[in-house]
Amino acid sequence: DVKVTQSSRYLVKRTGEKVFLECVQDMDHENMFWYRQDPGLGLRLIYFSYDVKMKEKGDIPEGYSVSREKKERFSLILESASTNQTSMYLCASSFGGGFYPYGYTFGSGTRLTVV
């Protein structure tokens, strides 16, 4: 069964801490994405990557960075966590590009609370 695995389901961190959210996929997908989901705002794209060592900003990249050193792993980094980054974070991956991307697979989410 193909999978996108996020390292933690629940995480509590203190304001100012550096936080790493890890995402691993086993489908040899080219594309990987980090979203956050907030009540009333839906899913919003933070960063995405189409290839190893490649990254592009999404709609809300401020306060975040990413790393993709290997094809299967895409990390989201909160350089200095703040309470407004308390949210559900979802990782996804997909195969293909151009006009025919398909096979979106989502992870089970990480609910991050910053106190």
Partner 1 sequence: KNEVEQSPQNLTAQEGEFITINCSYSVGISALHWLQQHPGGGIVSLFMLSSGKKKHGRLIATINIQEKHSSLHITASHPRDSAVYICAVISGSARQLTFGSGTQLTVLP
Binding site for partner 1 (CB under 8 A): 31, 33, 37, 42-43, 45, 48, 50, 58, 88, 90, 92, 94, 96-109, 111
Residue with Cβ nearer partner 1 (48 or 75): 48
Residue with Cβ nearer partner 1 (67 or 95): 95
Residue with Cβ nearer partner 1 (16 or 92): 92
Distance CA 41, CA 105 (A): 21
**In the complex, minimum distance from the CB of residue 27 to partner 1, in angstroms, rounded to a whole number:** 13
The span from the first CA to the last CA of the chain, in angstroms, equals 36
Residue 85 phi/psi, 5° resolution? -100, 5
**In the complex, minimum distance from the CB of residue 103 to partner 1, in angstroms, rounded to a whole number:** 8
**In the complex, minimum distance from the CB of residue 69 to partner 1, in angstroms, rounded to a whole number:** 20
Asked if 34 contacts 49 with a C-beta cutoff of 8 angstroms, the reply is: no
SS3 content of the chain, % helix, strand, coil (to 5): 5, 55, 40
**In the complex, minimum distance from the CB of residue 16 to partner 1, in angstroms, rounded to a whole number:** 26
